[in-house]
Each structure stands twice: as structure tokens, then as C-alpha cells.
Amino acid sequence: MLESNFFTKFLQLSDIRTVGFILLLVALFKVINVLQKKKVSFSTRMITGTLIGLVLGVIVQGVAKFPENPGDIAWINELSGWYSFVGGGFIDLLKMLVVPLIFLSIIRVIMNMQGDNLGKLTTRTIGTLIGLTSVAALIGIALGVLFNLGQGFDVINNTAEIRESVSLAETIRGLLPSNIVSAMAEGNIVGVVIFSAFVGTSIRRLSKKYAETIEPFVKWVEASYKIIISVTMTIIKLMPYAVIALLANTIISNGIGVLASVGKFIVCLYLAVLIMLVVHMTIAMINGISPVAYIKNASEPLILAFTSRSSLGTLPVTIETLQNKFNVNEGVASFVASLGSNMGMNGCAGIYPALTTIMLAQITNTPIDISFCMMLLVIIAISSFGIAGLPGTATIAISVVISGMGMESYFPLLGAVIAVDPIIDMGRTMLNVSGTITSAISVDRGLKRDEAKENKSVKKAV
């Protein structure tokens, strides 16, 4: 009876182990709920949820006897589907907020902005994001060479396919919102930012002559922003529950044995992530935030990014953290975080393309000299524009970089690395979000220092 389509296809409950681990997940949710009722801090609940998810995933793998291909086991596929419903559903709720949150916050900050800060904000944001990505790429290149990535690498049965790459001009033009409704539906956040910037700028321009006419729209923006922030906070409270299912599902779906074939690459990537996190903490320290305070305050978006593998899905949490934990100006937080989820991503567009390209070069005995490294660095910096912050788009980033280096024919050799992409993507995405947080802090503090200098100059002049 349990083998009928009703149980196997519709309910996905054809095995007692599936039911058992679903009930266990519900029981673990009760643990988080008890901690919440006891007023345990949100950060502690997040860390607890992460550890529980890790242990749960390993237990499921143990019951399945650590299969080499978890996807071949029916009850694991069923369990993964249910866990994905919980974790993926939470990410969907966060993504639901992204477009209205960015649309309203960008309009709001521009219409309330004074002086020429908008130009400074845009220039510094892009410069900081691309600069940090270049540093990440340098670290990736150095570690790739140091670890001799690619030497002795098994390239048998790799069937990866290269993604189509486009020119820089086409990439930038693709970000322009020819249809704002389509841009919103497709999650083109840069396009939404551009449209919102035009709306906000127009409000500022019209505010003197047509203040009474546009006042209803201004009030609507302010009211809508308050409402969307309230909705955001309601959904964020569910995050400790979601990370259990997200992390457990990642381990369940990919298994532990699959890590062995590309263990060297994974170790190298996570080492690069750690080094880059030190760079981020150093920049934060220069701006008056200690490393301990940085990790403590940034823990919530970093944990969510690690478990969800979505920079864009983490965006509402990132903005909330920047404003409430790092005292970043509301407008700066929204603007930098929005652009940071689509360009200049340290992990997906910096470290990862650098490591994979160096690995391909060593697999194919391509000389790695100064000119090769410089060309790679330039291509990575340019191609880091417009990489959407969603799971899987790092593959597009390496496609663009490899094509730019004239190595597109070697892309199938990366099959083993792409096979464990979810494991790699966890660290990459966490670094993306950390880079965005660091960029926002740096830009915010820089603008505040400039404002203080201007005020000081005005006082002297008076």
C-alpha cells in the first residue's frame, strides 16, 4: 500500500524512516521554540539551530549507511523534499520581500538625501565592492598556486557544460530595466535600484515646486516602508527553525563521501574564505569595530547565508543587521546591500573563479606567469558586475572568466567540482554577505567622516 503513487509521489511518505525524521525535525523545532520562550538571544538560537542541523544531517546519513549517491535512495529523496519544503519555503518568503523592500527603501533614502551624497554613495559603493572582490581574487590565485590545485586531479566522467557567456557591454545593458515589471519578476535587483533611483530623484526635484501634489505618494512610500519592515521582522523570527532544515538537507542531499574526490579544492576554498574574513574584520576594525564585535553582530546574516546559499535571500536580514547592529545609515545599508547582492561578490565572483581557473591551468599544463595572473585578475574584476545573488550563479561567473581567459574548451574538466557545488557554495555565499556588510560599514563611515569635515569647515568659515 505504501508503494502506491499516492504515498511515493504525492505524500512522499512511503518509508517509516521518512516519517520518523520528519517527526524528529518537528521535535527539534520544539527545542528552538522553548529557547525562544525562555528569551534566549536570537544569535544563540541561530547557532543552536545550525549545530542541530549539522548533527541531524549526519544522523540521517548514518542511518542510510553513508551512501555514495544519496539521490539513488528513495526515502532520502522523500525526506529531502520535506526538509526542502521547510528551509526552501523560508527562503522563498525572504525573497518575496526583496523587491518591495529595495524599491521602497531606495526611493525613501534618495528623496530624503541632502546635498551631493548620492554621487559619493554610488561611486564609493561600486569602488569598494569591486576592490574587495579583486583582493579576494588575489587570495584565490595565490592559494591555487600554493596548493598546486589540479595536479593529479581525476578528470574521468566529468560532464559539466559551460554556461553561455556574454560581453561586458551586453552584461551591463542587461541590467538596465527595459521593463520594470519584468525586472521585478526576474529579481533584477540592479534594475530595480536604477528605477527606484530615478523615482527618488524625481521626487527630490519636484518637492519644491509641487510639494502638495506629490505629498500623497511620499506618505505612501513612508507608510509602505514601515509595513514592509514589520513584515520582514515577522519572517526573520522564523530563521532559527529554517536553518535546521536548510543545513540538514544540504548534507542529506549531497552526502559526505562525495567530499573526498575534491577535498583539496574544498579545503583550499574554505581557507581562502577564512583569510578573506580576516581582511573584512581588519577593515571593520579600521572603522572602529573590533573583530569580536564584527563576528557577533554579523552572525545572523552570515549563518543564514551559509545555510541558505542565497545572498539575495539573505538581503532583508543583511539590511536589518547593518542598521540595528552596526549603526549604518538606513539609506546606505539599503543601497550598498542591494548592489552587493548582485555585483562584487567576494566568494562567487572573486575566490571561486580564481581557484577554478588556476586549477584548470594546472590540469592542462597552461603556464601560470605574471601576465596570466594579471589578466585573470582584470577579467574577474570586470566580470563581477551583475552576478545575481542566487544559488548556482557562481557557475555563470566561472564560465565568463574561463571564456575570457580562452579556456572555455576545458570547462568539462570542472565536473567533479560542480558536483559538490552546494557544499562549496555555503562558504562562498557567506563570504559574499560578509563582503557586502564590510563594504556598507566602510562606505557609511567614510561618508560620515566627510560630513564631519564639511561641518567643521563650515564652522571655521563662520
Q: Which strand (E) or helix (H) includes residue 14?
A: none
What is residue 158's predicted lDDT score, i.e. its pLDDT? 44
Question: Do the Cβ atoms of 15 and 210 come closer than 8 Å?
Answer: no
Look at residue 455 and tell me whether its pLDDT is greater than 50.
yes
Residues 140-180 pLDDT 10s = 999 999 988 877 655 434 444 544 555 556 666 766 788 88
What is residue 150's predicted lDDT score, i.e. its pLDDT? 77
Residues 378-427 pLDDT 10s = 888 877 765 654 455 677 677 778 877 878 777 777 766 776 677 888 89
What is residue 274's predicted lDDT score, i.e. its pLDDT? 96
Residues 301-313 pLDDT 10s = 999 999 888 887 8
pTM (2 decimals)?
Answer: 0.75
Average pLDDT value for the chain? 83
Residues 93-119 pLDDT 10s = 877 887 888 788 778 877 876 656 677
Look at residue 10 and tell me whether its pLDDT is greater than 70.
no
CA gap 123, 10 in Å, rounded: 52
Pairs from 290-299 (Cβ < 8 Å, separation ≥ 24): 296/43, 297/321, 297/325, 297/326, 298/325, 298/326, 298/434, 298/437, 299/43, 299/46, 299/47
Considering the domain delimited by 5-461, tell me its CATH architecture. Answer: Orthogonal Bundle (1.10)
Pairs from 122-126 (Cβ < 8 Å, separation ≥ 24): 122/335, 124/442, 124/443, 124/446, 124/447, 125/335, 125/336, 125/339, 125/340, 125/439, 125/443, 126/339, 126/343, 126/344
Residues 416-431 pLDDT 10s = 677 667 788 889 999 9
